[in-house]
Structure 1
Amino acid sequence: MNNNENISISKLLAVLDIQDDESFIITDVELFDDKKYLHIQKKLEPVYCPRCGSRMHSKGFYTRKLNHPVLQDSTKFYMIVKQRKWHCDECNLYMNDSFPFLDRYAHSTTITPLLILNEFKHLDQSTAAIAERFNISDTLAHILFERYVDLPRLPLPEYMSIDEVYLNISNSQKYAFVIMDFSNGEIVDIVHNRWSSTLEDYFLHIPLEERLKVKAVICDAYQTYLTMPEKYFPNACTVLDSFHAVKVIITYLNGYINKVMKKYQDRDKKALEEKNHDTNRDNKSIKKSKEVILLQNYRWVLLKNRDEINYSYNRHYHKMLGMNVDTYTIEKLFLQLDPNFEGLRDLKEEYIQFN
C-alpha cells in the first residue's frame, strides 16, 4: 500500500469504530479497475461460550462481501470480511465472529444507511441516482428512506387537490401521489406511488370523521382519482381542474372534426367510384377536396383559443385551395363546413373566459 492508501485505510477504520483495535487485522488491499477491496478479519484468540462458559472450537471461515460507500471517489469500495464460525461442544451453540460495523445478513456496513439518508436531503437528486452512487438498488434506497424517515401529514383540507409527480423512485414506482390544500397550495402529504391498493390503504387509515370534512377533490381525468369521493370522502364531489377540463373539450372537438372530415372523404370516394363507372376507368387516388384540406390543416380555427389566434388581413395565394386567402377567410371557410362548428367554438370560448 502507498502512503495515500494508508491514510485512507486509517480514516476508514476510524469511521468503522475499530480504530486502534488490536483484535482486527487487515490481510490485504486489492485494486481491480474501479473496485477496491479491503480484506479484514479478527485475530485468532480463545473464545468462550456465552451460554455455558466452555471454550468454543473454530469451524472455519465464512466470507462476506460488504458494500461500503465511504472514501469513494472514482472507485467502488468493498470490504471482504472473514468471519470465523464457532461451536460449543458442551451446549451445542453456534456463533460467528462479531464486528461493530456489520449487522446480521446485511450486504452493506452499518454506516451506509446514514450516508444514503443524508443524500436524500438534496431534493434535486433522484432515488435512482442516489442508489447508483452508493452501489445499491433503488428499491433498497427507497426502503431505507421509509424505514428511518417519518414525515407526519397535515390534516386533510376541505378542498383537496391531488396529482402525481415524477420521482422515479424505482422501475415500478415512477410517480408519487401528492395531496395539496387547494386554498393555500400547501402540501399535505406525499405517497410513494399512486396505485389503487396503496391509496386505498392510505385513506382508509385516516379516521372517517376527518374524511367527512372534505368537500371537494380537485383532480385530473385519471379514473382512480375521479372515483375517490365515492370511496373515501362521502361528503365531497369531484372537480375536474380547468386545464384538464379544456383538454377533455379539445379531445371531443378533435373527434367531432374527424367525423365531419370522414363524411367529406366518403363523399369524395363515392364521387370517384361514380366517375370511374361513367368513364370505364379504375383510378384509385382521390384528389383532396377543399373541405378535406381545410379540415386537415386548419382545425386550429375550432381548437385554438381565439385570443391566441394571430388574425391578419394580409392575403396570399393558397395553391391547394386555388384562391387568395387571409386568416379571416380561412376561419369563415372552416366554420361553414358544418352547422355545429360555430356553436361548439362559442361554448368552448365561453368556458375559457369563465376560467
Structure 2
Amino acid sequence: MNNNIIEIILNKDKNTNYQCDFDEINNEYIITVEKTVIPKYCPVCNTKMYSKGIRTRRVRHPILNNGKTILIHLKQRSWVCTNEMCKHRTTDEFSFVEKYKQTTNMTDLMILNELRDLNLTAKQVAKRFKVSDTHVYNIFDKYVNIERFPLTNVISIDEVFTNFDNDRKYSLVIMDFMTNKPIDLIESRRNKYTDEYFSSIDIEERANVEYLICDMYKPYFNGSLSNNVDEVKLKMFLFFMLQYQAHLSLNCSIFYIYFLIIFLLSNF
C-alpha cells in the first residue's frame, strides 16, 4: 500500500513508526503502529517515567477503493511515574484514534458522508463499515444538528420503532398534518423526553397549535403533549375511525377521507 495513504490514515502522527503487511486470507492490510521510544516525563510532577510494557489494540479502518480493509495493530506503551509520591500513570496517545475506540477518527467522517445517501439505512451503512447500527446512530447524533421546523396549527404525532436503547425503543415523529411534511423527531416518546422538548419551545408558538391528531397512547394525554400545547383539541378518535373504515373494507376514496378529516376538524 502507498505510504502516503498510510500517513493520511495515521494523521502524520509524530514520533510514530509503522509497518504494513497484507493478509491474503482475510483480504486486508495489517498496519502495525507504535511510538518511538523517547524519554518521557510525568505531566504532574515532571519526574521521569518508566515503561510498564506494551498492550496491543485492534483498530479498524473503513474499506479502500480496491475493496480491501485495514486492520491496525496499535502497540500502546503504558508509563508510570518514578516519583513514589506521585505514581501517575498514562499511556501512549495517537492522534488518529480516540481512547477506547475501535475505529479510526476518519471512519466517522466516511460514515457521515455515506449517510448523505437517503436510500441507505443505518443498518446498511453499519454493515459496509463493519460497525454496529447503534454506532452509526451515535455518530449522526454527535455531528449532525438539524433544526426543527416550527409547529403548525394542525400537527399529528406517531411513534416509530428506532430501538436506540432500552429507554428509547420508540421515537416520536411530529408532522404537519395538512402538508404531510415532517416537523421534527424526538428521540423517545417517553414523558421525560417530550416534557423537556415541548417545554423548550416558546409558549407563543405552542399556542398556535389548534389540533393534535394521535392515537390513544395514554401518556400523550396525561403528559407533556396535553400540558404544553395550550388548549389543543385532541382528535384521538380520528385515527381509529379511519382504521375501522378500512377494516370494514369500505370503498372510500382518498378525497373522501380528506374531506371527512377537514369536516371533523372544523366541527369538533
Give the TM-score normalised by the residue count of structure 2. 0.77
- What is the alpha-carbon distance in structure 1 between the residues aligned to residue 252 and residue 45 of structure 2? 89
Structure 2 residue 149 is matched with structure 1 residue 136:
no
Q: 2:18 maps to which residue?
A: 26
Amino acid paired to 1:304: L
Give the TM-score normalised by the residue count of structure 1. 0.60
**In 2 relative to 1, CA 238–16 (structure 1 residues): closer, same or farther, beyond 3 Å?**
same
1:121-270 map, 5 Å:
121-164=116-159, 176-195=171-190, 197-219=192-214, 221-224=215-218, 227=221, 230-239=226-235, 244-251=240-247
Pick the aligned partner of 1:304 from 246, 250, 254. 250
SS in 1 for 2:76: strand
Pick the aligned partner of 1:13 from 7, 10, 14. 7
Q: 1:109 maps to which residue?
A: 104
**In 2 relative to 1, CA 222–137 (structure 1 residues): closer, same or farther, beyond 3 Å?**
farther
1:41-120 map, 5 Å:
41-71=34-64, 73-90=66-83, 91-120=86-115
Consecutive unaligned residues in structure 2, runs of 5 or more: none
Following TM superposition, by how much is the alpha carbon of 1:81 offset from its aligned partner in structure 2, in angstroms? 0.4
Q: Deviations over 1:220-244 (max 9, x none)?
A: x352586375343241112358675
Q: Deviations over 1:87-126 (max 9, x none)?
A: 2213422221221112222222222222222222111111
Query: Which of structures 1 and 2 has the bigger CA Rg?
Result: 1
- What is the alpha-carbon distance in structure 2 between the residues aligned to residue 53 and residue 225 of structure 1? 58
- What is the alpha-carbon distance in structure 2 between the residues aligned to residue 164 and residue 72 of structure 1? 39
Over the aligned positions, Cα root-mean-square deviation in angstroms equals 3.4
Q: Is the 8 A contact 1:138 1:170 kept in 2?
A: no
SS in 1 for 2:105: coil
Count of matched residue positions in the alignment of Structure 1 and Structure 2: 253
**In 2 relative to 1, CA 73–28 (structure 1 residues): closer, same or farther, beyond 3 Å?**
closer
1:272-287 map, 5 Å:
none
Q: Is the 8 A contact 2:191 2:219 kept in 1?
A: no
- What is the alpha-carbon distance in structure 1 between the residues aligned to residue 251 and residue 153 of structure 2? 32
SS in 2 for 1:111: helix
Q: Deviations over 1:253-292 (max 9, x none)?
A: x5xxxxxxxxxxxxxxxxxxxxxxxxxxxxxxxxxxxxxx
- What is the alpha-carbon distance in structure 2 between the residues aligned to residue 53 and residue 200 of structure 1? 50
Tell me: higher relative CO, structure 1 or 2? Use CA pairs within 8 A at least 6 residues apart.
Answer: 2
- Name the % identity: 29
SS in 2 for 1:160: strand
Q: 1:285 maps to which residue?
A: none
SS in 1 for 2:113: helix
Q: Is the 8 A contact 1:127 1:170 kept in 2?
A: no
Following TM superposition, by how much is the alpha carbon of 1:247 offset from its aligned partner in structure 2, in angstroms? 1.9
Q: Is the 8 A contact 1:226 1:238 kept in 2?
A: no
**In 2 relative to 1, CA 223–165 (structure 1 residues): closer, same or farther, beyond 3 Å?**
closer
- What is the alpha-carbon distance in structure 2 between the residues aligned to residue 98 and residue 194 of structure 1? 40
